[in-house]
């Protein structure tokens, strides 16, 4: 469904993505992990064309785009490509003056020119799906962080993308709110949605991922099943990363820092 190959992204003289290639099959969940600054967000942004790659190619649902220094992609092509993916960010960027329902209706009404009654029905069904069927009339400030994030997921789905991209969707949440957002993502995987998720929730990753990708310094160091990448890897960088993030390691760190 998605093939990325030979992707390079530079910001000035800094090379942030270096020859990145990956394959994602329809209906699967891919989790991207890696240290801060390794290029995870940039990769998602390139798949969504929020950032234009300098080199390489991306094929999504049979539609191909090739990037190079002397070739500029037309805004039309970028738009129709971008519409196939929905993006959920760390902090939801909901409109504060619109209700949950209106936030989810906005894209279909404004961009797709869907009539309001249909958009409303569709938005209500999506909010129901993320467990907010009772709270559709609330404004963002009347919702918890986890609930706001779930509105964000419903909003991303409102444009009917073929793939959803999540950039650390739970890292701005209090620990007790993380689970409800993870549950919604898990339900989406059961529905057969194609998901690409950047997260530090390794436990979640090991339970839902079909594919785990470890990035470091702009490269994909390893990709494979959760067991292959997170348990049986021979890369020391990955072993150290996983140790640092696993709950036991965190507990040990806390204990030793208390001593």
Ligand X SMILES: Nc1ncnc2c1ncn2[C@@H]1O[C@H](COP(=O)(O)OP(=O)(O)OP(=O)(O)O)[C@@H](O)[C@H]1O
Residues at the site binding Mg ion, with contacts judged by CB under 5 A: 41
Residue 48 engages ligand X in binding (rule: CB under 6 A): no
Please choose which of Mg ion, ligand X, none residue 115 contacts, taking the beta carbon within 5 to 8 angstroms, the exact cut-off set by kind.
Answer: none
Compare residues 172 and 179 and give the one whose CB is closer to ligand X. 172
Per DSSP bridges, beta strands 163-167 and 194-198 are: parallel
Choice from 22, 39, 150, 166 touching ligand X (CB under 6 A): 39
Rounded-to-integer distance, Cα 68 and Cα 241, Å: 34
Choice from 27, 37, 133, 227 touching ligand X (CB under 6 A): 37
Sequence-separated contacts (24+) of 119-126 with Cβ below 8 Å: 122/158, 123/154, 123/158, 126/154, 126/157, 126/158
Residue 41 engages ligand X in binding (rule: CB under 6 A): yes
Please choose which of ligand X, Mg ion, none residue 84 contacts, taking the beta carbon within 5 to 8 angstroms, the exact cut-off set by kind.
Answer: none
Residue 46 engages ligand X in binding (rule: CB under 6 A): no
Note whether 168 and 198 are within 8 A (CB).
yes
The count of other CB atoms within 10 Å of the CB of residue 235 is 13
| Distance in Å, CB of 17 to ligand X, minimum | 8
Distance of CA 258 to the CA centre of its chain: 35
Choice from 29, 30, 38, 189 touching ligand X (CB under 6 A): 38
> What per-residue string of b and e applies to 142-154 under the rule 16 or more CB within 10 Å gives b?
ebebbbbbbbbbb
Choice from 2, 4, 16, 173 touching ligand X (CB under 6 A): 16
- For ligand X, the binding residues (CB under 6 A) are 11, 14, 16, 34, 36-42
């Amino acid at each position: 469904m998605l093939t990325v190959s030979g992707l390079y992204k530079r910001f000035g003289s800094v090379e942030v993505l270096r020859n990145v290639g990956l394959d994602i099959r329809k209906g699967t969940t891919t989790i991207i992990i890696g240290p801060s600054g390794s290029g995870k967000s940039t990769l998602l942004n390139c798949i969504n064309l929020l950032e234009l790659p300098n080199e390489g190619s991306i094929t999504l649902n049979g539609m191909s785009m090739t990037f190079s220094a002397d070739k500029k992609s037309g805004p039309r092509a970028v738009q129709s490509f971008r519409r196939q993916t929905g993006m959920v960010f760390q902090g939801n960027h909901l409109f504060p003056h619109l209700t949950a329902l209106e936030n989810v209706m906005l894209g279909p009404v404004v961009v797709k020119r869907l009539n309001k009654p249909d958009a409303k029905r569709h938005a209500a069904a999506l909010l129901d799906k993320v467990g907010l069927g009772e709270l559709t009339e609330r404004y963002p400030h009347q919702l918890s962080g986890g609930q706001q994030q779930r509105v964000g997921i419903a909003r991303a789905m409102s444009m009917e993308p073929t793939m959803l991209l999540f950039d650390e969707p739970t890292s701005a949440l209090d620990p007790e709110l993380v689970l409800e957002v993870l549950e919604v993502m898990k339900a989406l995987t059961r529905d057969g949605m194609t998901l690409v998720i950047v997260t530090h929730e390794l436990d979640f990753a090991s339970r839902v991922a079909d594919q785990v990708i470890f990035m470091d310094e702009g490269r994909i160091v390893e990709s494979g099943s959760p067991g292959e990448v997170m348990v049986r890897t021979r890369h020391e960088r990955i072993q150290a990363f996983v140790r640092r993030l696993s709950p036991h390691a965190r507990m040990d760190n806390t204990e030793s820092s208390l001593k």
